Structure 1
Amino acid sequence: MLFALAMDAVKAAVGVLDLSTVLVLVVSFLATVVLLGRSRRRGRLPPGPRPWPLIGNLPSLTAHPHRKFTEWRGRYGDVYTVRMGPDDVVIVNGWDAARESLVRQADDFADRPRLYVFDRLSHGGKGVIFGQYNLAWKANRKFVTTTLREFGLGKQSMETRIQEEARELCNWLGSYDGRPLDTGLLASAASNVICSVVFGSRFPYEHEDFRQMMALLDRGLRLSMVGQIFNMFPWARFVPFLSNLGNQVIDNCDQIDEFLKKIVKKHKDSFDPETRRDVIDAYLHQMWQGMDLNSNDLADKFSEEHLVALMFDLFVAGTDTTASTLRWALLFLATHPDVQSKVQEEVDRVVGRETPVSLAHRPDLPYTDAVLHEVLRMRSPAALSPPHMTGTDVTLNGYDIPQNTQVYINLWSLHMDPAYWPDPERFDPTRFIGSNGKVLPNPPSYAPFSLGRRACAGKQLAKSETFLFLVSMVQHFSFKLPEGAAAPPMDGVMGFALAPPQHSLCAVSRD
């Protein structure tokens, strides 16, 4: 994908630059890589595919790098090295190696590399997704998990918020009266749950500020893969035929940053330390405590920059991953009508058509729950983990991996391993149902929310949302492809999450 994007940019440039200029730029580009970026393999890094000079293995990593990494696993084993541009990157495949690195050696693999675009989004390594693994990260991660519980996670109040949003979502689906609709709009429902927790209230889908926020997030996610070019080659944003792409990425980062800062300012202007309305107020309270106690320790861990980075993390992770899971779920149901019928039969029997579904119904809906498990296995939002980085020299599967080495966990390889999942490309929810008729609690080689220190902090919220949203939708609608339309490609589109391609479905009322 990265190589293809760079080549597209070159082709576009040829139309506006003469050949000699392009050649000079290309030579300069390659020379700069050699002088500034080239790295050599160190220690006993695991062997892998032979890299091309200067660009490494990028030509092989097209639109679906997770599939290529899984293919290479058969040739080089569970742990091997690829070169991505100037950097050596270790790829970890399979259940055993993933657990060894992320669980048994959790602290050693918990850091993040300092990459240009990620640094811009995280205010220099802050927040919980791209933040550096240090005391501030640990404090902010603890804040997220504690505050989500405080504002209702695992309680009736959070469930009520999701149920209210599910009703709004079903009203929106019903407004199409069975006509084709773009399932990408499911992101609005997922984002509104986050809004209710972070801002203290939801927004009508047509609200101006809400639409602006969704547009910025959507554009940022579409630019996320382009941004990887500048993560590997930060100076590439100054190359004429790539500068426009770089400007788009940075401009969008700045707009998101400005939007979130305005929200923080509104909260600061009305802040009352005795009343905490939402996550932002809870964070401002932490900052206020630091100032009140004159504590440099708290001030270092909780700052406005940390807060803005954390808000970005919550919205991106809470919107894109949940929306992608729901879109995949509806697409699988539309292309497997027998599965959809079984889900609806179970829901009708246990919940009925009129009763709002609750999380208490989940144990009595094993087939429906298994469908969501199978969706997450086949199309986990994180086919590849965000890049980890070794915090010290480590040994994995007998290979020495130096400190500050980038490491990707290929979660796709866990979920598509035939040793654990026979015929892994077949959609079969029953593989998650045990002999007792219940959903298997902790199946091996299954980690849709990753593992270890960097596992998704919002895992329980995401599971609650997808369950309540999906059951609410199938209670009232049947989903099918538009008349005469072929099913879209099921490989997915790599971005922040592995999302289905843009497509339409018809929500046909069952009422």
Structure 2
Amino acid sequence: MFASGFWQNVPTFRENMVDSVTGFLLIFLLTIISVYLLRQRRSNYKKLPPGPWGCPVVGHLPFLGKNPVEKLSQYRKEYGDIFSIQMGSYPAVVLNGTGVIRKALSGHMEAFAGRPKLYTINLIGKMVGETGLTFSEYGPHWKAHRRISNNALRMFASYRTNPVEEIILGESQRLIEHFSNQSERPFDPRNETALVAGSVIYQILFGRQDNIREDETYCKMVKNIKDFIDFANAGNPVDIMPWTRFLFRGRLRRFLEIIRTSLEVQSTQQKRHAETFDPAHIRDVTDALFQASKEITPEEKGLGLTSEKVNTVIGDFLGAGSDTVGTTLLWSFLHMVTSPHVQARVHSEIDHHIGRSRWPTYEDRKSLPFVEATILEILRFGTIAPLAIPHATTCDVQLNGYSIPKDTFVLVNLASTCNDPDVWGDPKSFRPDRFLSNGSIDSSKAEMVISFGVGRRRCLGEFIAKVELFMFFCSVMQNCSFHGAPGEVYTYEASFGLTMKPKPFKLIVKSRSN
């Protein structure tokens, strides 16, 4: 959640420093402090992988630009699949390529399962007494929390026994209706796509609502998520340069306001659920977590796991569950416009196996290999979270001949796994057929798309996200066709931020019922 904003820190930091009367003296002082601290650390990092030289105080941040993935790709060509850079106050190791990333996160699961001790996460912990699962320290406590959260999510998300598909279909129909109301005029799909994606995760967490847009708590949550995304995209320097908290007090206060609003939404819903909870009627993920928290074993309680701690995972779902799905859908619409031959094959397969007499179900994915291959290609091509959430080493570890000390900041360059010519041949081409073998999904190829991460910190909501993407894409494509708007120039250039979003674009949607 917080990590992607790191890359936007430099312009904000530089502008503030230039405008400051005492900027030069402050830079001079910080340079002396930085050099001293780096010398103190040097003995611990002698065998770190090689990497480019950085600047005092800010490290490599000034060189990464608006799209750090491109710069990291250049470094990879020069230094290999493992190299080091300085992220503000932190030495960092960057992992590139499927082989190295899997070797680290799967082959050394425990060693690379940590999280950096970010300043803002510590602040949240002080505010509420707990932190969510995403940024919790790795250990027995985290393992128990993860297991309970995963069991609760799976119990509710089993498509045979719960209303998840009904929620997704309801919002898919809302999106299709919105598209139809545009009367085949050019329009920007971003706002409504974000709303329906946010609505799905909200209802999965807090219960199905037919008139959700009239729910005051939901409206507050949607606005708060937008505020958080805008904040993260603008950068939060204190996480990688903690001393900047004295320079950016206003931004820090704004961050805390956003977090407080999120906690208010969660508290309102948890109070309502506590008052109406019925173990015989599990309505949503919050109920499932309440049930799980009542079944904590004595051993788990001994690890410090409480019902309050179990429920902190709701914040993780709210923070990540809407933006990633909404962004992926935007990429899917763009690709349908720019690849009409792919769109035609998707329509043909859906028409043949489902037709128009019923809505798709998640079970249909087994009969729609080209649709599934297209979704995989959208995930591969877009790499929605190209640098993932930062990891940290939990102990000293050896990787490819390098000694990486405990508590080292680790960046996982997922984009490198999806754009490697040695793996994909033509990574810049949008070609779903690369995932098919004899008319079926090639599982070995599909497993190479690691958009949801690898190892212990793999995305907890992966299963629900996959259900959402399939159901949304399949139902929208069943009923709509996408076309370019006159005069619109389409590009795959992305805006780097919390997620990699396509640049704003307009399109024309036509109903397939005509």
CA-to-aligned-CA distance 1:441-476 (integer Å, 9 cap, x gap): 132642111111111122121111111111111111
Summarize the alignment of residues 172-321 of structure 1 with structure 2, pairs less than 5 Å apart: 172-179=178-185, 180-202=187-209, 204-239=212-247, 242-272=248-278, 276-288=282-294, 297=301, 300-307=304-311, 309-321=312-324
Instruction: Determine helix, strand or coil for the equivalent of 2:91.
Output: strand
Partner of 1:149: 154
Shift, 1:285, TM fit: 3.7
Shift, 1:258, TM fit: 2.4
Instruction: Determine helix, strand or coil for the equivalent of 1:409.
Output: strand
Q: Does 1:458 align with 2:465?
A: no
Partner of 1:369: 372
Partner of 1:425: 428
Partner Cα separation in structure 2 for residue 199 and residue 4 of structure 1:
33
Give the counterpart letter for 2:512 in structure 1.
Answer: R
Instruction: Determine helix, strand or coil for the equivalent of 1:201.
Output: coil
Shift, 1:115, TM fit: 0.3
Q: Give the conservation status (yes or no) of the 8 Å contact 2:51–2:85.
A: yes
CA-to-aligned-CA distance 1:404-449 (integer Å, 9 cap, x gap): 1111111111111111101211111111111x11111132642111
Partner of 1:408: 411
Structure 2 residue runs of 5 or longer lacking an equivalent are none
Give the counterpart letter for 2:251 in structure 1.
Answer: L
Q: Give the conservation status (yes or no) of the 8 Å contact 2:141–2:303.
A: no
CA-to-aligned-CA distance 1:9-66 (integer Å, 9 cap, x gap): 5436766x5xx34434444554565567886341411111112222211112122222
Partner of 1:384: 387
CA-to-aligned-CA distance 1:204-252 (integer Å, 9 cap, x gap): 335332221111111112212444411012231221xx33333322221
Q: Does 1:11 align with 2:15?
A: yes
Q: Which stretch of the first structure deviates more once superposed, 144-153 or 403-412?
A: 144-153
CA-to-aligned-CA distance 1:57-100 (integer Å, 9 cap, x gap): 11121222222222211111111111111211001111111111
Between the aligned residues of both structures, percent identity stands at 31
Shift, 1:174, TM fit: 2.2
Q: Does 1:40 align with 2:41?
A: yes
Q: Give the conservation status (yes or no) of the 8 Å contact 1:318–1:458.
A: yes
Partner Cα separation in structure 2 for residue 226 and residue 294 of structure 1:
44
Give the counterpart letter for 2:156 in structure 1.
Answer: F
Partner Cα separation in structure 2 for residue 350 and residue 219 of structure 1:
42
Instruction: Determine helix, strand or coil for the equivalent of 1:91.
Output: strand
Instruction: Determine helix, strand or coil for the equivalent of 2:323.
Output: helix
Partner Cα separation in structure 1 for residue 123 and residue 178 of structure 2:
36
Shift, 1:275, TM fit: 5.0
Q: Which stretch of the first structure deviates more once superposed, 490-499 or 211-220?
A: 490-499
Partner Cα separation in structure 1 for residue 118 and residue 506 of structure 2:
36
Summarize the alignment of residues 93-132 of structure 1 with structure 2, pairs less than 5 Å apart: 93-121=96-124, 126-132=131-137
Partner Cα separation in structure 1 for residue 389 and residue 231 of structure 2:
16
Instruction: Determine helix, strand or coil for the equivalent of 1:261.
Output: helix
CA-to-aligned-CA distance 1:87-117 (integer Å, 9 cap, x gap): 1100111111111111111111111111022
Q: Give the conservation status (yes or no) of the 8 Å contact 2:95–2:411.
A: yes
Q: Give the conservation status (yes or no) of the 8 Å contact 1:411–1:447.
A: yes
Instruction: Determine helix, strand or coil for the equivalent of 2:509.
Output: strand
CA-to-aligned-CA distance 1:376-405 (integer Å, 9 cap, x gap): 111122211211111111000110000111
Q: Does 1:59 align with 2:62?
A: yes
Partner of 1:90: 93
Instruction: Determine helix, strand or coil for the equivalent of 1:109.
Output: coil
Q: Does 1:495 align with 2:497?
A: yes
Partner of 1:509: 511
Give the counterpart letter for 1:171 in structure 2.
Answer: E
Q: Does 1:49 align with 2:52?
A: yes
Within the candidate set 167, 170, 177, 2:173 is matched to: 167
Q: Give the conservation status (yes or no) of the 8 Å contact 2:30–2:57.
A: no
Q: Give the conservation status (yes or no) of the 8 Å contact 2:35–2:56.
A: no
Instruction: Determine helix, strand or coil for the equivalent of 2:486.
Output: coil
Structure 1 residue runs of 5 or longer lacking an equivalent are none
Partner Cα separation in structure 2 for residue 311 and residue 480 of structure 1:
38
Give the counterpart letter for 1:218 in structure 2.
Answer: K
Partner Cα separation in structure 2 for residue 168 and residue 368 of structure 1:
21
Partner Cα separation in structure 2 for residue 238 and residue 414 of structure 1:
38
Change in 2 beyond 3 A, CA 1:283/1:491? same
Normalized against structure 1, the TM-score is what?
Answer: 0.90
Q: Give the conservation status (yes or no) of the 8 Å contact 1:50–1:57.
A: yes
Q: Give the conservation status (yes or no) of the 8 Å contact 2:141–2:300.
A: no
Within the candidate set 437, 440, 459, 1:438 is matched to: 440
Instruction: Determine helix, strand or coil for the equivalent of 2:421.
Output: coil
Q: Give the conservation status (yes or no) of the 8 Å contact 1:477–1:509.
A: yes
Instruction: Determine helix, strand or coil for the equivalent of 1:171.
Output: helix
Instruction: Determine helix, strand or coil for the equivalent of 2:508.
Output: strand
Partner Cα separation in structure 2 for residue 178 and residue 390 of structure 1:
52
Give the counterpart letter for 2:244 in structure 1.
Answer: A
Change in 2 beyond 3 A, CA 1:208/1:30? farther
Partner Cα separation in structure 1 for residue 214 and residue 73 of structure 2:
42
Q: Does 1:340 align with 2:343?
A: yes
Partner Cα separation in structure 1 for residue 402 and residue 234 of structure 2:
32
Q: Which stretch of the first structure deviates more once superposed, 416-425 or 187-196?
A: 187-196
Q: Give the conservation status (yes or no) of the 8 Å contact 1:334–1:479.
A: yes
Q: Which stretch of the first structure deviates more once superposed, 117-126 or 320-329?
A: 117-126
Instruction: Determine helix, strand or coil for the equivalent of 1:82.
Output: strand
